[in-house]
Amino acid sequence: MSDLIRETIEGTTLTLSLQFNPENAVTEEAMHALLDVLQKYRDSSVRTILLTSTRPGFFSNGFDPALWLDRDEKFLKRTAATVNAILEIFFFYPIPVIAVINGHCMAVATFFAAFSDYRYMIDGHGYRIGLPEARVGAFIPSFPFFYLKELIGINHATDMVYQARLLKPVEARDIGLINEIFDSDEAAFARANRMAKRIAGLPIEGTRALKQCTRETYRPLFEAVRSFDEEIIVGLAQTPNTQEGFRSILEKRRPVFQ
């Protein structure tokens, strides 16, 4: 068990609570912790996963900018491959995943949410969900964008990507990015647990088959763009503007692009 992710099992429901750091920024260690825990339970008796956070105010703030700063090409290639591995196992996971988004949900975490089968978010605390990558010159992989387009439509997806809009929970619900919003953590978790129990009452073989049917048609596309995405990530991460973008986040200032 990793200190970075709290694992709680009740019946056949596994709750994975992210606790990487104060903002749940995704570090190299966090990526490997995610991979390890998802591999651990993929063939277990668990029937549903609840994904949430223990960190006040943050579901996840996306990648830690330091992950990409001043890195050599070998490190970046390895990291890009790990990013794809996480997206792959999360999207094609064999059982339903319910995301309880109890804080800000940024960048790659938005795709963790989008890839979940049900998405519940807390309203009333100023939380936002979105893709701020364009603001810092970062890259959004092709496959997550394609699925986002499938989920919320090409116009909304394009707007989220190019305008780097950070959506309020009600806005995210209205375009289909979020299923339901709640005014408290307790209400959201109660709803998530009811859904998990409903799923647990179904024959597990059928549930796994249904999950596979809803996802496997996307695998050829995922494989087709895997190398392309990794090459773009590595190349872009080494450009002066993208380095400046990530550095500006760490230094809490506006980026100055060339």
- Alpha-carbon gap, residue 76 to 172, rounded angstroms: 32
pLDDT confidence tier of residue 239, bands split at 50, 70 and 90: very high
Q: Which two tokens stand for residue 18?
A: 């992210």
Whole-number pLDDT of residue 2: 79
Angle at alpha carbon of residue 60, lines to 121 and 168, rounded to 5°: 40
Is the pLDDT at 3 greater than 80, yes or no?
Answer: yes
Place of tokens 């998802």: 38
Q: What is the DSSP code (8-state) at residue 105?
A: E
The structure's pTM equals: 0.96
CA gap 222, 229 in Å, rounded: 10
> Which residue in 58, 20, 68 sits closest to 248, CA to CA?
68
CATH no., domain 5-186: 3.90.226.10
Percent of the chain with pLDDT over 90: 98
Residue bearing the bigger pLDDT, 1 or 202: 202
- State the Rg of the chain over Cα: 18
Please state the rounded mean pLDDT for residues 199-203: 96
Report residue 182 as tokens: 């709640």
pLDDT tops 80 at residue 1: no
Q: Where are the domains of the chain?
A: 5-186
Per-residue confidence (pLDDT) for residue 193, from 0 to 100: 98
Rounded CA-CA distance 114/118 in Å is: 9
Going from the C-alpha of 218 to that of each of 92, 156, 222, 257, the distances in angstroms are: 9, 21, 6, 36
Residues 130-150 have pLDDT tens digits of 999 999 999 999 999 999 999
